Amino acid sequence: MTTLGASALTANPVSAALPATVTLIKYFDVFGFGNSSSTATVDFYGTAASPVTRRSAVYFYNSAAGTWVSASNFTVNTAANYVEITITPAAGSTVATAPSPAQFEGLPFCAGQWPFDISNDYSTTSITTATTPVTTAVTSTQQP
């Protein structure tokens, strides 16, 4: 991405409710502008009152479906109190991550907790899903 930005939101920015099984940590607005063939990495930090746990996940609002969807390709790091997502484009037969770089313009996100444990690892867990505090660490790399 050429330009990345983020802000914390005080309330749900859309009319669709989170799935009933998700316990909210915080809403975010994260956006990227630039090349849709680039990769972006975004870290979503928990708070003192609602820290990241091994059940943490990141959701984004899918306007085409009108629902909150679990982001794919994310890593939970309980030791550093964040969930990291990587947004990558499709390449060859590889499907783009959810959200895709093309969706990543003014996209509402939220960090939340699943109602069940997703791993036995208590520190860092890598998970890839099957579905399509202000961010303090945002990095970007350009695909060749």
Residue 104, pLDDT score = 73
Mean pLDDT by 10 residues, the chain (144 residues): 74 92 88 72 87 90 89 90 86 76 77 62 36 36 39
pTM: 0.71
Q: How many domains does the chain have?
A: 1
Residue 2, pLDDT score = 55
Q: In a 10 Å sphere around its CB, with 0-12 CB exposed, 13-18 middle and 19+ buried, how is residue 87 labelled?
A: buried
Domain that holds residue 12: 3-141
Residue 93, pLDDT score = 66
Euclidean distance between CA atoms 69 and 136, whole angstroms: 23
Residue found under tokens 């607005």: 29
Q: In a 10 Å sphere around its CB, with 0-12 CB exposed, 13-18 middle and 19+ buried, how is residue 127 labelled?
A: middle
